[in-house]
Amino acid sequence: MIDLKGNVMKLVKFIGPEGPLYLNPEHVIVVRKGMKDTRIETVNGPVVVTEEVEVAARLLGAEEIARDVTPALPKSIDL
């Protein structure tokens, strides 16, 4: 697709609850795992897609996937 300035714009196709969605990877802020679906935060707002987090990140061009592996603290600490 070509934008108004004549630049080529890359769009990635995802499947959402209402049907296919096309997202520009340059507008994506974060990809998050939900209970059933994957949530992609863009500059225009959140979008829900059915692809797994790893698949969505790779389609958007991520080379590495950052994961939070920090263990949760216990609710009470006995001293």
39-60 pLDDT, tens digit per residue, is 999 999 999 999 998 899 899 8
Query: What stretch of H or E contains 12?
Result: strand 12-16
Paired tokens of 71: 């263990």
pLDDT-based confidence at 78, cuts 50/70/90? low
Q: Report the number of secondary-structure helices (H) and strands (E) in the chain.
A: 1, 5
46: enclosing H helix or E strand: strand 45-49
pTM exceeds 0.85 = no
